[in-house]
Amino acid sequence: MKQIIAKKNDIYLREMQVVIESDLGIKVSTSSLCRTLERWKLRRKKTLIDSERQTHRVKNLRYEWRQWLDKVDVRNLVFIDETGVNLSMNRRYGRGEGGVRVYDDCPGKRGKNLTLIGAMSDEGLIVTMTLTGGLDTASFLVDK
Q: How confident is the model at residue 27 (pLDDT cuts 50, 70, 90)?
A: very high
Give the C-alpha separation, 57 to 111, whole Å.
47
The answer to whether 118 and 112 are in contact (CB under 8 A) is: no
Q: What is the pLDDT of residue 87?
A: 79
Q: What mean pLDDT value characterizes the chain?
A: 88
Q: What is the pLDDT of residue 79?
A: 95
User: What pTM was estimated for this model as a whole?
Assistant: 0.48
Classified as helix, coil or strand, 25 is coil
pLDDT tens-digit readout, 97-141:
777 788 887 777 777 889 999 999 999 999 999 988 888 888 777
